């Protein structure tokens, strides 16, 4: 079989995989899990609405929906040439919340493949994890994850599929100083805590493992930085209310070491959209870029 014929066969398999229905996974959690997540993205004991189950305003944070990603089992590896899990990078994350997640929940997580794109020497794999009530079939939230898989390209250019506009927006910050800034120093032990949200990658806890990736110290989870940044936007433009966030999109631009300070720089693009980026102060590098949050109601925050 010629190379071009192999590539054509691969593209056909990708299309069939995109159209297929894949097995769902059950996701159950309780107030303890909700509290653990809040603490693992830096919530303080005084923020009782997120860390105390008996508080009259006890609620889940909007970014809690990302935990469902770990339940989405989608075995697309055989669709890619030369797949090596060590070459996979979490490039972007998009979350859209249609209905606030309860503090005790039982859902099914339905995985699907949105697209696989050939980028020459690498492939982009875009997957979705839908959080669905098993009794009513109501969709509470979706996650879209863009993975960059190095050394797995070259199988034939593919035209990108149509996607949710907010999931693909470039979100370039305006040419002015940020309208608002929030800084937060992370705990040196934050990665050890965040991993209990079902992300047990040893890269975030084991120095022997992280050193193989070029990191002398285990790095912080990208989704932890994502949660911290979302929390900052909620505090600044959503009056601290978790139901103020409709969607969040972010690109992971650089690693963060636990103990470093994150500075979320925010611009109010319009009453319902906040563009932001998150900077590591100690190294003056962007950890999160091309990011934005859509609000459920227009913000009344003063510029």
Is 232 in the active site? no
User: 33, 131, 179, 204: which is the annotated catalytic residue?
Assistant: 204
pLDDT number for residue 8: 87
H-state helical runs in the chain: 3-19, 31-40, 48-51, 165-168, 190-194, 207-212, 222-237
Is 204 in the active site? yes
User: pTM of this prediction?
Assistant: 0.94
User: 199, 227, 232, 274: which is the annotated catalytic residue?
Assistant: 199
pLDDT number for residue 3: 54
Contact (Cβ atoms closer than 8 angstroms) between residue 67 and residue 200: no
pLDDT number for residue 302: 54
pLDDT number for residue 99: 97
Is 70 in the active site? no
User: 219, 228, 245, 275: which is the annotated catalytic residue?
Assistant: 219
- What DSSP designation does 176 have? S
pLDDT number for residue 14: 93
User: 153, 222, 227, 238: which is the annotated catalytic residue?
Assistant: 222
pLDDT along the chain (303 residues), means of 10: 73 93 97 98 98 98 97 92 88 97 98 94 95 98 95 84 94 97 98 96 92 90 98 97 97 97 96 98 98 92 57
* Helix/strand/coil for 290: strand
For every residue of 202-215, DSSP letters joined together read GGGT-HHHHHHTT-
- What DSSP designation does 67 have? G
What's the full length of the chain, in residues? 303
For every residue of 192-248, DSSP letters joined together read HHHGGGT---GGGT-HHHHHHTT-SSPPPPHHHHHHHHHHHHHHHHSTT-GGGEEEE
Is 22 in the active site? no
């Amino acid at each position: 079989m010629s190379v071009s014929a192999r590539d054509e066969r691969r593209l056909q398999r990708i299309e069939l995989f995109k159209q297929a229905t894949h097995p769902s996974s059950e996701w159950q959690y309780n107030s303890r899990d909700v509290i653990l997540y809040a603490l693992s993205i830096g919530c303080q004991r005084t923020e009782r609405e997120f860390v105390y189950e008996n508080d009259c305003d006890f609620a889940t944070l909007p970014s809690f929906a990302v935990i469902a990603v770990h339940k989405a089992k989608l075995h697309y590896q055989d669709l890619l040439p030369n797949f090596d899990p060590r070459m996979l990078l979490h490039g972007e994350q998009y979350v859209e919340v249609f209905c606030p997640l309860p503090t005790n929940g039982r859902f099914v997580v339905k995985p699907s493949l949105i697209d696989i794109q050939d980028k020459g020497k690498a492939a982009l794999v875009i997957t979705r994890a839908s959080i669905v009530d098993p009794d009513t079939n109501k969709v509470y939230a979706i996650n879209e994850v863009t993975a960059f898989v190095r050394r797995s390209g070259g199988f034939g250019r593919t035209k990108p599929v149509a996607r949710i506009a907010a999931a693909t927006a470039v979100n370039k910050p305006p040419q002015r100083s940020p309208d608002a800034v929030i800084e937060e120093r992370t705990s040196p032990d934050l990665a050890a805590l965040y991993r209990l949200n079902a992300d047990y990658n040893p890269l975030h806890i084991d120095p022997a493992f992280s050193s193989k990736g070029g990191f002398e110290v285990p790095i912080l989870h990208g989704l932890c930085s994502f949660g911290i940044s979302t929390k900052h936007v909620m505090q600044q433009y959503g009056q601290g209310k978790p139901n103020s966030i409709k969607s969040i999109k972010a690109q992971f631009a650089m690693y963060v070491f636990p103990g470093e300070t994150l500075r979320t720089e925010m611009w109010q693009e319009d009453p319902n959209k906040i563009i932001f980026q998150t900077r590591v102060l100690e190294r003056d590098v962007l950890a999160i870029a091309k990011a934005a949050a859509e609000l459920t109601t227009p913000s009344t925050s003063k510029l």
